[in-house]
Structure 1
Amino acid sequence: MNFIQNIDIYLLDFIHKSIANDFLDKIMIFITSIGNLGLIWIAISVLLLISKKYRRVGMLCTASLILSSLIGEVVLKNLVQRGRPFTAIEGINLLIKAPKSFSFPSGHTASSFAVAIVIGRKIKSFKLPIYILAFAIAFSRLYLYVHYPSDVLVGALIGIISANIILYIYNKQNF
């Protein structure tokens, strides 16, 4: 685990020494805030559910979001109980309110990828913007020192796997 922790800290330091600035600080604070509690993804899912044309996609997004939250937030966070980077690295000046939950895996990232993968597969015209949003939210968690890169990587994998499980079940039911 020390090896992974060392790589995580190196990558976080690289981000901060290479690209951190006042302008990006403001952008990253905004981007991470729209991912809080998965609200943007819940809102998108609700909008899709309301639309007759995209109702099934909304149901798939909701199911994927629930599955990723159960795996990441309910099971893994409580099982692993990893502290956040700002508690382990000296001299970090947090730009947002300190999250109280454990760090591993990133819930923001898991929910982002859980919904983005479903939308990217089912509504091709939204694929690029929705993937950009998911990546931006994931990156903001690193930039703001509230997650290690491995938290974000595993969060993305949880989201991708959750979406693929839901899509697989859906496709099996409809053929």
Structure 2
Amino acid sequence: MAEYITRLDYLILMFIQEHLRVEWLTKPLVFISHLGNSGLFWIFLCLFLLVFKRTRKMGFCGLLALLIGALITNVALKNMIARVRPYEQFSDILLLLERQRDFSFPSGHACSSFAAACALYWTSEERNRVIGVLSLILAALIAWSRLYVGVHFPTDVLCGVLIGIFSAWAAGRLIAGLQNRRRAVIENSSVKEDDENG
């Protein structure tokens, strides 16, 4: 089964390389791919959103989602599975940027991008929805760029996207739980004050 998946991954990458790579698109996609390095773009974006009260929840949820995704992807799965990069396994896959220093599965770029983007989209209010929409578009472009430049197999990126979405969902649930607990504490305090005053 693993060999069949790897073979299918290889065929998809070769199709991209032979039919979808065009000169005018290469430089922009290499740049977009670098935007996802170490999740720094998303970290700085979320820190910026923390500055403003109306986007503070978005920034906090985004950072929490990034942390969850990094723990699952970079700390656990990459080292447990230790899948080599496509260009290391197949010599006819042409690399368009520098060789990567970590393992291939799952894609950390795809994970961090979708973790942050989904968190920002799901926690955005109507007036801030454009931030979430643009974040999702950029996340999709970063994930696609990792296939285009030849540093990931399609299953690496797909699983990275799914882990990112899960991380955003988990971050949202944790924040909702904290808000409910805080609300319950405030309500209990109000009840006690009313009883004491009554």
Q: Distance in 2 between matches of 1:19 and 1:165?
A: 35
Q: Which residue of 2 aligns with 1:128?
A: 133
Amino acid at match of 2:83: R
1:171 aligns with 2:172: no
Amino acid at match of 1:39: L
Q: Distance in 1 between matches of 2:64 and 2:107?
A: 18
> In the TM superposition, what whole-angstrom CA distance separates every residue of 1:69-92 from its partner, at most 9, and x where no partner exists?
000000000000000001111233
Percent identity for Structure 1 against Structure 2: 38
Q: Distance in 1 between matches of 2:101 and 2:178?
A: 40
Q: TM-score, normalised by structure 2?
A: 0.85
Q: Which residue of 1 aligns with 2:159?
A: 154
Contact 2:57 2:123 in 1 (8 A): no
Pick the structure with more helix per residue.
2
Q: CA deviation at 1:56?
A: 1.8
1:145 aligns with 2:146: no
> In the TM superposition, what whole-angstrom CA distance separates every residue of 1:51-108 from its partner, at most 9, and x where no partner exists?
2221122111111100100000000000000000011112333221100100000000
Aligned residues: 175
| Alpha-carbon spacing, 1:82–1:88, altered in 2? closer, same or farther (3 Å) | same
Q: TM-score, normalised by structure 1?
A: 0.96
Deviates more, 1:116-125 or 1:139-148: 116-125
Over the aligned positions, Cα root-mean-square deviation in angstroms equals 1.1
Q: Which residue of 1 aligns with 2:31?
A: 30
Q: Which residue of 2 aligns with 1:106?
A: 107
Amino acid at match of 2:61: L
Amino acid at match of 1:143: Y
The unaligned stretches of length 5 or more in structure 1 are none
Residue 150 of structure 2 aligns to a residue whose secondary structure is coil
Q: Distance in 1 between matches of 2:13 and 2:92?
A: 13
Residue 54 of structure 1 aligns to a residue whose secondary structure is helix
Q: Distance in 1 between matches of 2:93 and 2:5?
A: 20
Q: Distance in 2 between matches of 1:127 and 1:74?
A: 27
Contact 2:14 2:93 in 1 (8 A): no
Contact 2:17 2:93 in 1 (8 A): no
Matched ranges for 1:29-68 at <5 A:
29-68=30-69
Q: Distance in 2 between matches of 1:108 and 1:55?
A: 24
